[in-house]
Amino acid sequence: MTRLTAALVLASFVVACGGSEPPPASPGSAPAPAPDAGAAKAIVPGGTAPTAPVKPPAVPAPPPDPMVKAEKALKSSDAEERAAAIEALLEAKDKAAAGRLLVRLLTDEDEEVRALAADAMATMEYKDGVSHLRTLLGNEKSEIVRKTAVQSLAALAGKAAVPDLLRVAEKDPEALLRGTAIALLGDLDARESVDVLIRLLQEDFSQDVRVAAVTTLHRFKAGKASGAFVEALQDRAMGVRKEAAAAVGELKVREAVPGLIGIISDPEEDGQVLVPALKSLKAITGEKIEFSESDPDEQQAAVDAFKTWWEANKDSWN
- Are the CB atoms for 282 and 289 separated by under 8 Å? yes
Name the CATH architecture for the domain at 64-157.
Answer: Alpha Horseshoe (1.25)
Show me where the domains of the chain are located. Answer: 64-157, 222-318
| pTM, rounded to two decimals | 0.77
Summarised one tens digit per residue, pLDDT across range 10-66 is 445 444 444 444 555 555 555 555 555 444 455 555 556 566 677 777 667 666 667
Mean per-residue pLDDT of the chain = 86
- Are the CB atoms for 118 and 148 separated by under 8 Å? yes
Summarised one tens digit per residue, pLDDT across range 112-128 is 999 999 999 999 999 99
CA geometry: angle at 227 spanning 224 and 230, to 5°?
A: 135
Name the CATH architecture for the domain at 222-318.
Answer: Alpha Horseshoe (1.25)
More confident residue, 54 or 172: 172
Ranges assigned E (strand) in the chain: none
Burial environment of residue 283 by CB neighbours within 10 A (0 to 12, 13 to 18, 19 or more): middle
User: 64-157 with 222-318: one CATH topology?
Assistant: yes
CA-to-CA dists, residue 280 to 174, 229, 256, 299, angstroms: 34, 13, 9, 13
